[in-house]
Structure 1
Amino acid sequence: MDSLESLTRQITGAKELNSIVRTMKAMAAANIGQYERAMESLGDYWANVSWGLVAYLKYIGLESPIVKQGENPKKGPKSICAIVFGSDQGFVGQFNDALSEYVQESLSAHEGKMEIWTVGVRVPLLLKDRGMTVTKEFNLPNSIHAITALIGSILLQIEENHENGSIDEYYLFHNHLEKEGSYRQEKSRLFPLDVKWQQENGRLKWPSPKQPEVIGDSARLIGSLIREYLFVSLYKTCTESLACENLSRLNAMQRAEKNIEELLDDIGHTYHRLRQSSIDEELFDVVSGFTALKKDRKLGG
């Protein structure tokens, strides 16, 4: 049975842990807002790049720079690259586990050459445990200001692979924010642009009555537009993944806080019951001693 001293130490430790949990919860909530604002700020930038791509493709008489579904210009299976955004830190619930399972299920049927790039130190460990080979690992940004450097590193690698012709398609795997404070795993094709992109952006209307024209080197123009498209897509994916990570941590901290409060309540009841029992014993000893002393005095008298 626990002593009063042992219960006191447990209560002190639980209160200290609860203070840490509350701090982590507050930091996670603040980070979610920061990353969500970063995502919202991409809205106009994304719209301008999309307008530019749609306008260019319509100008040259091409609806979309895609390979139609069911067609493969290369013989044999396509070579693909999966870019997986995970986390560096723990206390995020099933954030990395669910994502790694989703990646394995999505890529299990692929028969061609496959590369897996990961962002964050925890996802590659889980993917390797599932028998998958991670070919390149990138460090996760520790702040919103470091995201640009990460995206630059990924784009350099994509450009190098493009020059070598070693990868046909790029896919993004990450956790996607849902409504009501939840998220789900998502897979999207980064490049080449696919039918989904065409359907989502083909309805875009040029914001002015005057139709756009391509002036100058069209090859440089489409190259710049595609680079900007890749940049904003990767940036949005990274910030959304970081927002989901902090949302998962916030949920985990809320559960931890609830468990600690329940533990403190149980320990508190045990402590007060044991303390009351100790007080009762002391009072009983005092009363017994007083009664015995009173009897001795009567006998002596």
Structure 2
Amino acid sequence: MSQTAASLRHKIASAGDLEAVVRTMKAMAASSIGQYENAVQSLDEYYRTVQLGLAVCLRASGPLLGTPAAQGRKDAAIGAVVFGSDQGLVGQFNEDLLEFVVDHLGRLPGQKVVLAVGERIQARLAEAGLPAGKAFALPSAIGAITPLVGHILIELEARHEKGEIGDVYLFHNSPKAGSLYDQVAQHLLPLDEAWRVELAREPWTTINLPEALNGIPQTLPAFLREFLFVSLFRGCAQSLASENASRLAAMQRAEKNIAETMETLNRDFHRLRQSSIDEELFDVVAGFEALSGTHGNSGV
């Protein structure tokens, strides 16, 4: 079906409106990436402080029995916290993470309970047959990450105390140099034995050795909760940075496609206008020639 000038004008205008939307979303994604990356970087110093506190407690303590890091019941399910996305336009962000989670959990024995953060990853996990625990909405701003992490920690602690879950794993996408993101799995509970021993042996930064206030039994669980908080907060921020990086790449591809489409539409529009002008000129010339011939015949 041939296109008219009016239809082409409408398509060009629609493409221009879509280009403006894409440009806005692109700017928002680029801005969000910086905010979440800065949030992750700001946690590094605090994470180091938590590590030093853990080192002091672990150096003076024995096995972590009676703490959240202790081994749960042998028949308890494996808990998994998975950060995905709530919104679309992120390419294969959720699909890549789902494949990684299914493969990783599939190699672990026992039952699994998944705490999914993000509506789209929740749906994909359900389709993959992974038992869903409590679902959480993904935060839309940095300030909303802290309450979310608090709710996740409460849920994990409650399930751990009831013996419903033992080991706890964290899954999310993380920004990677040279590519948009990569999948990350972290074993949160119980603490990795090799890492715990290495941390306990780490020398103190000064000659004045610290002491744990109120005793190890009260201080160690507090540092463990802070360790979990920082790990979950950083995982969420890295996931959001990766999501926005993926959305930025998608918007860049869309912007390129729209530009190519507009170029084609403009070329078709100018060709159609030129064709219409040519036809009008031919009609004028033909009419002039016809009138000239008529007048010439009248004078004979």
Normalising by structure 1, we get a TM-score of 0.92
Aligned to 1:190: 188
Does the Cα contact within 8 Å between 1:32 and 1:246 map onto a contact in 2?
A: yes
Q: 1:196 Cα shift?
A: 6.1
Per-residue deviation, 1:202: 5.8
User: Given that residues 59 and 213 in structure 1 are in contact (C-alpha distance below 8 angstroms), is that contact kept between their aligned partners in structure 2?
Assistant: no
Structure 1 residues 165, 31: closer, same or farther in 2, change over 3 A? same
Distance 1:241 1:126, change over 3 A: same
**Could you tell me which residue of structure 2 aligns to residue 35 of structure 1?**
36
Tell me, in whole angstroms, the C-alpha distance in 2 between the residues paired with 1:215 and 1:109: 41
CA contact (8 A) 2:78 2:111 kept: yes
Residue by residue over 1:253-278, the C-alpha shift from the partner in whole angstroms, topping out at 9 and shown as x without a partner, is 00000000011111111111111111
**Cα shift at 1:105:** 1.4
1:201-246 residue CA offsets vs partner (Å, 9 max, x unmatched): 4674422221222342321100110011111111100111111111
1:39-118 paired onto structure 2 within 5 Å? 39-60=40-61, 62=62, 65=64, 79-118=77-116
Q: Which runs of 5+ in 1 are unaligned?
A: 67-71
- TM-fit CA distance, 1:147: 0.7
Deviation per CA, 1:22-61: give whole Å up to 9, x if none: 000000000000101111110111000001111221133x
Q: 2:225 aligns with which of 224, 227, 233?
A: 227
Residues 20 and 205 (structure 1), Cα distance of their counterparts in 2 relative to 1, 3 Å cut: farther
Q: Give 1:144 deviation, angstroms.
A: 0.8
Task: In structure 2, give the amino acid aligned to 1:30.
Answer: S
Q: Which residue in the other structure is 1:206 paired with?
A: 204
Shift in Å, 1:133: 2.3
Preserved contact between residue 176 and residue 241 of structure 1 (Cα < 8 Å):
yes
Cα distance in 1 between the residues matched to 2:200 and 2:272: 72
Unpaired runs of 5+ in structure 2? 66-70
Distance of 2:273 and 2:199 partners within structure 1: 70
Contact 2:72–2:167 at 8 Å: present in 1 too? no
Task: Give 2:173's match in structure 1, choosing from 167, 171, 175.
Answer: 175
Is the 8 Å Cα contact of residues 56 and 200 (structure 2) preserved in structure 1? no
CA gap 1:243/1:205 in 2 versus in 1, 3 angstroms: farther
Q: Is the 8 A contact 2:167 2:189 kept in 1?
A: yes
Q: Which of 263, 272, 294 in structure 1 is aligned with 2:261?
A: 263
* CA distance in 2: counterparts of 1:27 and 1:200, whole angstroms: 42
SS at match of 2:169: strand
Contact 1:25 1:250 in 2 (8 A): yes
In 2: Cα distance, 1:174 partner to 1:124 partner: 13
Could you say what secondary structure the match of 2:82 adopts? strand
Q: SS of the counterpart of 2:89? A: coil
Q: Which residue, out of 131, 144, 153, partners 1:155?
A: 153
Tell whether 2:234 aligns with 1:236.
yes
Residues 1:6 and 2:12 aligned together: no
In the comparison of the two structures, how many residue pairs are matched? 293
Match of 2:144 among 131, 143, 146: 146
